[in-house]
């Protein structure tokens, strides 16, 4: 393989590994208490709606 091919191969590998490392580092971002409260509230609302839909389907 010519030298330019190895260069492209090395560059693409470095980009993939760098992207994965950046993704791993950003995975543990802290969430504020207000945002976490909104997430939990919305999750409870969605679960309640799904439960109502299940009840409607049973009848």
pLDDT at residue 59 tops 80: no
Which domain covers residue 37, as residue numbers? 3-58
**What is the structure's pLDDT at 6?**
95
Q: How many domains does the chain have?
A: 1
pTM: 0.49
**What is the structure's pLDDT at 30?**
85
CA angle at 51 for the pair 50 and 57, rounded to the nearest 5°: 90
Measured distance CA(52)–CA(46) in Å, rounded: 10
Better pLDDT: 1 or 36: 36
| Tens digit of each residue's pLDDT (9 = 90 or more) over 4-22 | 999 999 999 999 999 999 9
């Amino acid at each position: 393989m010519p030298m330019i091919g190895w260069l492209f191969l090395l560059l693409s590998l470095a980009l993939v590994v760098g992207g994965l490392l950046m993704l791993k580092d950003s995975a543990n971002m802290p969430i504020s208490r207000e945002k976490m409260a909104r997430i939990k509230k919305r999750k409870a609302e969605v679960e309640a709606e799904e439960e109502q839909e299940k009840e409607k389907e049973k009848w």
